[in-house]
Copies of this chain bind each other. A is one copy, B any other.
Amino acid sequence: MTTEARIPLSRERVLQAAVALADEHGLRAVTMRRLAEELGAEAMSLYYHVAKKEDVLDGIVEVVAEEINDVVARVDRGPDWKQTARRRILAARRVFLRHRWAPALFGTRSSTSIAVLKYYDSLVGLMREGGFSHDRIHHALHALGSRALGFSQELFDPNAGASAEVPAELAAQLPNLVGMLSEIAHDDPDSTLGWCDDQAEFEFGLDLILDGLDRLREP
């Protein structure tokens, strides 16, 4: 951290620093001022390399999506389209496990990242080779939604309820949920991603959809 070592700023350096900052302190910590500090510069200097904060956020989505594409490119093909898709999606998922803030951010972007488009493009190609019509593939992409990229949006966390103390008064209003949770011993509470989405559950939902799609496949 000497004053002499001044690597010049660049869009790429800014984005790398933003990803590192989010990894370490969460997305909330990614502020123009904090980001600049991390780079040993002033906040205003960033604006020479980046249009505005939204641009930074779009940029780090792109960085993560490219990371996914790199990983996915190294995935071996399976015996059929379904196995290959499954392996790719689970590989993509592993990237999100390294960037826990990413699912929430991906969900808020309005313009789609080019790397994400490329990811979907290769998925379309895979399904095409697997014998699907374009129309079916289009439906499939919607059906998969964010699952195609390796994460899913959960709106409540059954695991959290199992461990946390539920007030008796509330529990009385949730007889079915409490009944279910009390019966389920969840052994793997650690490997959760985003909104309670552990590996086994993710794979269950994914296979349900992939199997359903496979059944619809034209011969």
Binding site for B on A (CB under 8 A): 104, 106-108, 112, 114, 116-118, 120-122, 124-125, 128, 134-135, 137-139, 141-146, 148-149, 152-158, 160-161, 170, 173-177, 179-180, 183-184, 195-197, 201-202, 204-205, 208-209, 211-213
Selected from B141, B149, B154, B184, the residue in CB contact (under 8 A) with A138 is: B184
- A153 in contact with B146 given A138-B184, A213-B208 (CB within 8 Å): yes
Q: List chain B residues, Cβ under 8 A from A108.
A: 104
Is the CB–CB distance between A160 and B104 below 8 Å? no
A203 to chain B, nearest CB (A): 10
| B212 and A116 form a contact (CB under 8 A) | no
- Contact between A146 and B154, CB atoms less than 8 A apart: yes
Known: A106-B155, A112-B157, A125-B176. 14 other contacts (CB 8 A): A104-B107, A112-B161, A117-B156, A117-B177, A118-B173, A120-B156, A124-B180, A135-B184, A138-B158, A138-B184, A139-B204, A142-B197, A142-B204, A208-B212
Number of chain copies forming the complex: 2
Q: Check A143–B204 contact: CB distance below 8 A.
A: yes
Q: Which residue of B lies closest to A180 (CB)?
A: B134
Give Cα A125 to B177, complex, Å: 8
- Return chain B residues, CB-CB under 8 Å to A208: 143, 208-209, 212-213
